[in-house]
Amino acid sequence: MTTTTSATRIRAHTRWELRLLLRNGEQLLLMFVVPVLLLIALGFSGLSTKGINSAVPTVLAVSIMATCFTSLAIGTGFERRAGALRYLGTTPLTKFDLISGKFLATATLTAMSAAVIVALGLAMSWDPELSGILPAVLVALLASAAWVAWAMVLAGVFRAEAVLAIANGLFLLFIMFGGVAVATSQMPGPVGAAIDLLPSAALANGLRESLETGGFPVLAVIVLTFWTVLGVVLARRSFRWEP
C-alpha cells in the first residue's frame, strides 16, 4: 500500500487547481483584463487623487480580493454543488490539503495578475518606493491567505446560489466602504479606525503605505495575520465536502 505525504498531496492538488483556473475564461478576464482597464481608468481619469502612484496599490488590492475571495468562493461553491468536492473527499486529500492547494494555485495566478498590473503601472510612469517592495509582498501574501481562507469558509457553509450572492455583495461593500476605493485616512476618525480592522482596509492601506511611502505597515500586517489565522481555523472546522 502506497502512502503520500501532505506536501505531495498539496503539490498535486495545486497543479490540478492551476490547470482548472487557466482554462477558465471568466477567471482570466477577471484577473487580467478588468484590472488593466481599471488601472487605465484610475491612472488617466483623475479619479485617483495621487494619479498612478495611488492607482496601482488600489488596483492590486481589488485584484487580490476579486481573485482570492470572490472568484474562489463562487467557484468552490459550485464545485461543491456539482459533486466535485464529494469526489475529492474520497481521496487522501484532507481539508488542509484542499485549502492549501487552492491557496497556492490562486496565489500563483494572483502573482501573474500583479506582474501585469505592475508592468503597466511602470509603463504609465508609476514611481514606487523601492524600500516598500518587500513589505508590499508580505502584505499581498498575508491578504491572499486571509481571503482564500474566508472564501473556503463561505463556500463550505452555504449553498452555491447563496455563495454567489454573498461573495459578490461583500466584494462590492468592501470596495466601496471597506477602505479600498476611499482610504480610511479620508474618513472621520472613529469610522476610519474601525474600518482599519477590516481585511480589505488592511490590504489597501498596507499596499499604499509600503509602495507610496516605503514604510512598514505594522497595523496592516497584524490585522491580516489575525484574519488569516481565524479564517484558516474556521475553514478547517466548518468546511463540508457536500452541500
pLDDT in tens, 100-159: 888 898 889 889 989 999 999 998 889 899 999 999 999 999 999 999 999 999 998 899
With 90 as the cut, is the pLDDT of residue 24 above it? Answer: no
Q: Which residues constitute the domain of residue 177?
A: 6-238
- Residue 31 in any domain: the answer is yes
What number of other Cβ atoms are within 10 A of residue 215's Cβ? 15
pLDDT at 44: 67
The total domain count for the chain is 1
Residue recorded with cell 482597464 = 37
d(C-alpha 225, C-alpha 64), whole Å: 16
The residue among 241 and 111 whose pLDDT is bigger is 111
Establish if 1 belongs to a structural domain: no
CA–CA dist 144, 103 (Å, integer): 8
pTM of the model: 0.88
The percentage of residues in the chain with a pLDDT greater than 90, rounded to a whole number, is 47
pLDDT exceeding 70 applies to what percent of the chain?
Answer: 93
Which phi-psi region, left, alpha or beta, contains residue 46 (left: φ > 0; alpha: ψ -120 to 50)? left
The answer as to whether 243 is a domain residue is no
Contact 98/234 with Cβ under 8 angstroms? no
Torsion sign, CA atoms 37, 133, 10, 95: negative
Mean pLDDT of the chain: 87
Q: Is the pLDDT of residue 85 over 60?
A: yes
Taking alpha carbons only, the member of 110, 183, 117 closest to residue 151 is 110
pLDDT of the residue at 47: 47
Between residues 96 and 112, which one has the greater pLDDT?
112
Q: What would the mean pLDDT of 201-224 be, rounded to a whole number?
A: 95
Q: What is the pLDDT of residue 131?
A: 93
Given this model, what pLDDT does residue 49 score? 41
Q: Specify if 32 maps to a domain.
A: yes
Out of 6-10, 15-19, 118-122, give the one with best mean pLDDT: 118-122
Alpha-helix residue ranges (DSSP H) falling in the chain: 6-22, 25-28, 34-45, 52-65, 72-82, 84-88, 95-123, 133-157, 160-177, 189-195, 199-208, 218-238
pLDDT at site 46: 52
In a domain, residue 70? The reply is yes
Inside any domain, residue 183: yes
Q: Is the pLDDT confidence value at 228 over 90?
A: yes
Choice among 5-19, 165-179, 187-201 with the minimum mean pLDDT: 5-19
Write the pLDDT tens digit of every residue in 26-83.
Answer: 667 767 788 888 888 877 665 444 678 888 999 999 999 998 999 889 888 888 887 7
* CB atoms near residue 229 (< 10 Å): 13
Looking at residue 166, its pLDDT comes to 95
Contact by Cβ (8 Å): 35, 123? no
Rounded CA-CA distance 66/82 in Å is 22
